[in-house]
Amino acid sequence: MFSVKKGKNMIKIGICDDDLRAAGETQQYLDELGKKYGYRLEMDVYASGEELIREYQEGAGFDLIYLDIEMKQMDGIETAKWIREHHHHVILIYISSYDTYLKQLFEVEPFRFLQKPVGKEEFASVFLKAMARIEEQKESYFRFQSGRNMMNLLCRDILYLESAGRKIIVHTRNRTYEYYDKLDHAQEMLEEKRFVRIHKAYLVNMDNVEAFQYERLSLKDGTILSISEKNRPRVRSIFWDYCRGEESHG
């Protein structure tokens, strides 16, 4: 695996193809399009589905993945099935010489299928449509840098964020993530997405609150968190406003 990084506020792209010449061509097309349209792209190239999945298991996250279908050992369809089970939001684009797998592709909901050899015009058209979809999705995601990985989590999957010294611990339905930052900064990013500061150490996703009491609340996974005394009147008001809003939409 090797990387090409270009600045900040990046779009994370994975390219998975055991034909390194084809992977290099995809990377070159993306580099040209990023420069032409002003996108900052971070591209990681993988020679196998297993390599891509290992990167995911180590905490990597992607906005967009270009996948070949026919690869040694784990093919592109099996790779995509694993990705969909663990990271449903990512946009998948297949680039392959084989169009006999179209029925199987529906199971993993690819964004587009490009047949090799791919013309630059068609590649650019699909890329721009994928960028538009990623921009739409950003409203629903929380992005943060964890080590060398840019994480991209669905807000609805986040239970709460916890301040622990100089770190923030992000608690989700399936696991936890850690990164260095202040909870005040995360609060600024998430307040408009129905996250509420209930304590100096806790920022809670109201969509995942199971039950509320004046001194504490419980989350859908059974976690119970204390509400600090000074925050109790404000949190109670926010909670009841939230409940009334949910009723009006129900």
Beta bridge partners of 41: 11
CA distance linking residue 211 with residue 21, whole number of Å: 55
Q: Which CATH architecture has domain 156-249?
A: Beta Barrel (2.40)
Please answer whether residues 176 and 84 qualify as being in contact, where contact means their C-beta atoms are separated by less than 8 angstroms.
no
pLDDT tens track, the chain, 250 positions? 434 443 335 799 999 999 999 999 999 999 999 999 999 999 999 999 999 999 988 877 888 999 999 888 888 999 999 998 877 778 999 998 866 666 566 667 888 999 888 999 999 999 999 999 888 777 678 888 887 777 878 888 899 999 999 999 999 988 999 999 999 999 998 987 789 999 999 999 998 998 888 999 999 999 999 999 999 999 999 888 877 665 444 4
Please answer whether residues 207 and 238 qualify as being in contact, where contact means their C-beta atoms are separated by less than 8 angstroms.
no
Q: What ranges do the domains of the chain cover?
A: 2-140, 156-249
Q: What is the pTM of this model?
A: 0.63
A 10 A CB-CB count for 10 gives: 17
CA distance linking residue 84 with residue 160, whole number of Å: 24
What pLDDT was estimated at residue 245?
65
At 87 the three-state DSSP class reads: coil
Does this chain's domain 2-140 share its CATH topology with 156-249? Answer: no
Fold of 2-140: Rossmann fold (3.40.50)
What pLDDT was estimated at residue 158?
94
What pLDDT was estimated at residue 88?
74
What pLDDT was estimated at residue 159?
96
CA distance linking residue 68 with residue 84, whole number of Å: 16
Please answer whether residues 203 and 196 qualify as being in contact, where contact means their C-beta atoms are separated by less than 8 angstroms.
yes
Radius of gyration of the chain (CA): 21
Quick check: bond before 233 cis, omega within 30? no
